[in-house]
Every structure is written in structure tokens, then in C-alpha cells.
Structure 1
Amino acid sequence: MLLKYLNELDRAVQAAQQEPGQVQFSHCVECANVLKDYLRGQIEPVRVRGTEIMESLLPEHFEEWMAAAGSAESACLHA
């Protein structure tokens, strides 16, 4: 499962970098959140290594993507 989630995150990051947009950013954030949730339930060595790999996959501007995805989600909730 770890490899599956890491691959999904990697593909989502690549897609968001190739074609930036709200949908891609939201998908990337969703993949990262699924991976984080999965890692929380793992033994420490898996959790630590999985987190290291996840962080290496995320771009420096990932927090901006999170903000963009959050503002899009917020707009949908208030519509």
C-alpha cells in the first residue's frame, strides 16, 4: 500500500507541475493527506521512511497548493 500511495502522490505532483490548476492542486493535496493518514497507522520505521520519501516528492511550493486547494474547497462550501 505504501508504494501505491507514494506512486499516486508522485503522479499527482507531476500533473500539477505540468498543468497547474485548482483541480490538480486539490488532487495532489488529497493524495498527500491519504498518504499521511496511512503512515499514521504504521510502525515507526515505516512511518519515518515513508514520511521522508513523501517530503522528497513534494515541491517547495506545496503549501501554496494547499492554500489554493483550501480556498477552492471553501468557495464550494459557501456557494
Structure 2
Amino acid sequence: MLLKYLNELDRAVQAARLHPGLEQFSRCAECVDVLRDYLRGQMEPVRRRGTEIMDTLLPEQFEDWMAMVGAARNAEAQQRYHV
């Protein structure tokens, strides 16, 4: 399963690099969440190595991507609240 989740993350990051946008950035966030959830339930050596590999797959701009996703979600939530 670890390899599957890492491969999914790698594909999502590549797609986000090729076609930057909220949809691709959101997919990266989903992959990271799934991978982190999986790693929480693993033994320490697997958790540590999986986290190391995940960190190498994430680009420097990942935090910027997550900020854009968060801002878009907040704007969407406010729009629903005010309608």
C-alpha cells in the first residue's frame, strides 16, 4: 500500500507541475492526507521512511499550492454562507 500511495502522490505532483491549477493542487493535498493517514498506522521504521520519501516527492511550492487551495475553499464557503 505504501508504494501505491507514493506513486499516486508522485503522479499528482507531476500533473500539478504540468497543468498548475486548483484541481491538481487539491489532488496533491488529497494524496498527502491519505498517505499521512496510512503512515500513522504503521510501525515507526515504515512511518519514518515513508515520510522521508513523501517529503522528497513534494515540490518546494507545495505550501503555496496548499495556501491557494485553502483560500479557494474559504472563498467558496463564504459565498455559500452569504447566499
Q: What is the aligned-residue identity percentage?
A: 68
Structure with higher Rg: it is 2
SS at match of 1:78: helix
Higher RCO (C-alpha under 8 Å, 6+ residues apart): 1
| TM-score (normalizing by structure 2) | 0.91
After the TM superposition, which segments of 4 or more aligned residues of structure 1 sit over 6 Å from their partners?
none
Spell out, residue by residue over 1:4-44, the C-alpha distance to the aligned partner (whole angstroms, 9 max, x if none). Answer: 11011000000000000011111111111110111011100
The equivalent residue for 1:77 is 77
Q: By how many angstroms is 1:75 displaced? A: 1.8
Gaps of 5+ in 2: none
The equivalent residue for 2:56 is 56
SS at match of 1:47: helix
Q: Write the distance in 2 (CA, Å) between the matches of 1:75 and 1:26.
A: 15
Gaps of 5+ in 1: none
Pair 1:24-2:10 in alignment = no
Root-mean-square deviation (Å):
0.8
Matched AA of 1:61: Q
Q: By how many angstroms is 1:71 displaced? A: 1.0
Number of positions where the alignment pairs a residue of Structure 1 with one of Structure 2: 79
| TM-score (normalizing by structure 1) | 0.95
